[in-house]
Amino acid sequence: MATQIASSHAKSLEKQLSHSLSATLALATILKEDSSFPNFDRVAADLIERYGGISNLQLAPNAVISKIFPLKGNELAVGLDLKKIKELLPLLRLRS
Q: At 30, which amino acid appears?
A: I
Averaged pLDDT of the chain: 81
Segments making up each domain of the chain, as ranges: 2-95
Distance CA 20, CA 47 (A): 9
Regarding predicted confidence, which is higher, 86 or 64? Answer: 64
Q: What is the pLDDT of residue 38?
A: 87
The answer to whether residue 47 scores a pLDDT higher than 90 is no
Regarding predicted confidence, which is higher, 95 or 35? Answer: 35
Q: What is the pLDDT of residue 19?
A: 64
Distance CA 2, CA 7 (A): 8
Which candidate, 18, 37, 19, places its Cα nearest to that of 27? 37
pTM of the model as a whole: 0.67
